[in-house]
Amino acid sequence: MRLFVAVEIAPQVIEALAACGDELRRRAARVPRARIAWVAADRLHVTVRFIGEVDEAETRAIATALAPDISLTPFALAIEGVGTFPEHRPPRVLWAGIGDGSDAIAAVEAEVSTRLEGCGVPREARPYRPHVTLARVREPGGLRTATWLADWTDRRFGVSPVNAITLFESRPSPQGHVYVPVQRTALIGVRPR
């Protein structure tokens, strides 16, 4: 099984992100050599932690570790701005960023990573940068980030409440990967100082 932990996004925010994707898709079409894989609206989320391929026993251990409620207060994520990774080279990932709530989701990631370490899943080596992946650029083909993203770098897409995390299984299908919820874990309690 291929697993990851994510925060689901409110429908109205997904709708705004999908409209952004439609416009950016039209702009990218002007660069015929660019090859871009767009994320379908029903798969938009904020990844808390990518786990990867695990067997059934590891899946059970991970689900058990993530089952207890998380002692953090529910919060809201402001989804805003559009950018690319890497920042100063040809784009490989197109993303929508996180404004307010970024510290709270970083605390969630730290708690999830601590729980996963107990299952033998090592912490990420790179710093956590929460975002919503909108597309993966397979071949930039001359696509210029400044032109492509004009008018979208400061756009606000809305606020999404976060009161749980979801452990997902990513299953391949002819239409791309399907994300199947395995379990949800509630956020309760007091935010750490």
0.85 cut: is pTM over it?
yes
pLDDT at res. 148? 85
* Residues 6+ positions from 6 with CB-CB distance below 8 Å: 45, 46, 47, 48, 165, 166, 168
What whole-number distance in Å separates Cα of residue 71 and Cα of residue 18? 32
Q: pLDDT tens digits, residue range 127-144? A: 999 999 999 999 999 888
Q: Output DSSP code: residue 158.
A: E
Residue labelled with tokens 């709708």: 15
- Residue 95 near residue 133 (C-beta atoms within 8 A): yes
pLDDT value for 124: 94
Distance separating alpha carbons of residues 70 and 47, to the nearest angstrom: 16
- The predicted pLDDT at position 156 comes to 97
Selected residue with higher pLDDT from 12 and 148 = 12
The CATH homologous superfamily of the domain defined by 2-188: Cyclic phosphodiesterase (3.90.1140.10)
**Predicted local confidence at residue 193, as pLDDT:** 52
Mean pLDDT score, 88-102: 93
* pLDDT mean over 77-88: 92
**pLDDT reported for residue 146:** 80
pLDDT 10s digits, 4-43: 999 999 999 999 999 999 999 999 999 989 999 999 999 9
Give the pLDDT of residue 76: 97
User: Distance of CA 132 to CAs 64, 111, 192, Å?
Assistant: 27, 20, 25
Confidence at 81, pLDDT banded by 50, 70, 90: very high
